[in-house]
Amino acid sequence: MLQGESGTIFISSQPEGRLEWRIGSKPNWISFSPSSGILDGTIDEILVTTEVSGLTVGWNTGTVEIISSSAGKKLMDVSVFIETPQISQMAISKSILEFDYQEDSTEFYIKNSGGLDFNWTINNQNDYLTVSPDSGFLAIGDSILVTSIVDRTELETNIYEYSLNIGNNQQNALELPVNIKAYKEEKWILDNGQIVDAEYDRNYDKIIAVSEFPNQILNINPVSQGIQSLDLNLPPTSVSISQDGNLAVVGHDGYISYINLSSMELIQMYSVTTDVFDIVLGPNNWAYAFPRVDQHERIRCIDLSTGNETQNTGNTIYAGTRAKLHPSGSYIYGADNGLSPSDFEKYDISGGTAHYLYDSPYHGDFEFSGNIWISESGDKLFSRARNVFNASENQTNDMTYSGKLLGEQGKRISTMDSHAEANVIYTIVDEGLWDWDYKPGGVVKKYTEDFYNFQGEIELPKFLGTDTNGNFSLFSSHGYFGFFNSTGSQFYVIVKADEENNSAVRWGISTITVD
415 pLDDT higher than 50: yes
pLDDT at 3: 46
Band (435; pLDDT cuts 50, 70, 90): low
436 pLDDT higher than 70: no
Q: Are 108 and 156 in contact (CB under 8 A)?
A: no
C-alpha–C-alpha distance, residues 460 and 359, integer Å: 36
82 pLDDT higher than 80: no
pLDDT at 370: 96
More confident residue, 207 or 438: 207
Model pLDDT for residues 281-327, shown as the tens digit of each residue: 999 999 999 999 999 999 999 999 999 999 999 999 999 999 999 99
Beta bridge partners of 261: none
52: left (phi over 0), alpha (psi -120 to 50) or beta: alpha
* 423-447 average pLDDT score: 89
* 169-196 average pLDDT score: 96
203 pLDDT higher than 90: yes
How does DSSP assign 85-106, residue by residue? P----EEES-S-EEE-TT--EE
328 pLDDT higher than 60: yes
* 274-278 average pLDDT score: 99
pLDDT more than 90, % of the chain: 78
* 393-419 average pLDDT score: 96
Residue 259: other Cβ atoms inside 10 A? 28
Indicate the average pLDDT of the chain. 94
Q: Are 484 and 449 in contact (CB under 8 A)?
A: no
2 pLDDT higher than 60: no
Q: Report long-range pairs for 190-193 (Cβ below 8 Å, ≥24 apart).
A: 190/227, 190/494, 190/507, 190/508, 190/509, 191/507, 192/216, 192/218, 192/227, 192/229, 192/507
Which of 2.70.98.40, 3.90.1150.10, 3.20.20.70, 2.60.40.10 is the CATH number of 90-182? 2.60.40.10
Q: Phi, psi (5° rounding) for residue 513? A: -80, 130
Q: Are 354 and 334 in contact (CB under 8 A)?
A: no
7 pLDDT higher than 90: no
Amino acid at 233: N
- Extract the runs of DSSP E, i.e. beta strands, from 285-351: 286-291, 296-297, 300-303, 309-311, 317-318, 322-325, 331-335, 344-348
List all residues 6 or more positions away from 38 whose beta carbon is below 8 Å from its beta carbon: 18, 19, 20, 21
User: Which residue, among 472, 477, 473, 475, has the nearest Cα to 508 in the 3D structure?
Assistant: 477
pLDDT at 5: 67
pLDDT at 365: 97
Question: What three-state secondary structure class fits 276?
Answer: strand
Reply yes or no: is the peptide bond before residue 440 cis, omega within 30 of 0: no
> What does pTM read for this prediction?
0.82
C-alpha–C-alpha distance, residues 462 and 187, integer Å: 9
Band (1; pLDDT cuts 50, 70, 90): very low
pLDDT at 434: 66
Residues in the chain: 515
C-alpha–C-alpha distance, residues 300 and 290, integer Å: 7
CATH of domain 232-404: 2.130.10.10
Q: Are 269 and 287 in contact (CB under 8 A)?
A: no
Model pLDDT for residues 215-272, shown as the tens digit of each residue: 999 999 999 999 999 999 999 999 999 999 999 999 999 999 999 999 999 999 999 9
pLDDT at 38: 85
What single DSSP character describes residue 437?
Answer: G
* 372-395 average pLDDT score: 98
How does DSSP assign 384-407, residue by residue? TTSEEEE--SSTTTTT-EEEE---
pLDDT at 157: 97
* 352-370 average pLDDT score: 98
Burial of 407 (0-12, 13-18, 19+ CB in 10 A): middle
Overall CATH class of domain 6-82: mainly beta
11 pLDDT higher than 70: yes
User: Which residue, among 169, 215, 176, has the nearest Cα to 193 in the 3D structure?
Assistant: 215
CATH 2.130.10.10 in the chain is located at 232-404
**Of the ranges 50-64, 367-381, 392-406, 493-507, which one carries the lowest mean pLDDT score?**
50-64
More confident residue, 52 or 277: 277
C-alpha–C-alpha distance, residues 49 and 385, integer Å: 93
Residue 288: other Cβ atoms inside 10 A? 26
Beta bridge partners of 70: none
**Cα R_g (the chain), whole angstroms:** 43
391 pLDDT higher than 80: yes
Question: What three-state secondary structure class fits 435?
Answer: helix
What single DSSP character describes residue 427?
Answer: E
Longest Cα separation, the chain: 149
**Which stretches of 429-514 are DSSP H helices?**
none
Q: Are 430 and 450 in contact (CB under 8 A)?
A: no
351 pLDDT higher than 70: yes
C-alpha–C-alpha distance, residues 286 and 310, integer Å: 11
Q: Are 413 and 403 in contact (CB under 8 A)?
A: no
More confident residue, 81 or 472: 472
* 178-207 average pLDDT score: 97
350 pLDDT higher than 90: yes
More confident residue, 102 or 57: 102
Question: What three-state secondary structure class fits 494?
Answer: strand
CATH 2.60.40.10 in the chain is located at 6-82, 90-182
Q: Are 407 and 443 in contact (CB under 8 A)?
A: no
Burial code (b: 16+ CB inside 10 Å, e: under 16) for 479-499 equals: bbbbbbbeebebbbbbbbbbe
Q: Are 50 and 98 in contact (CB under 8 A)?
A: no
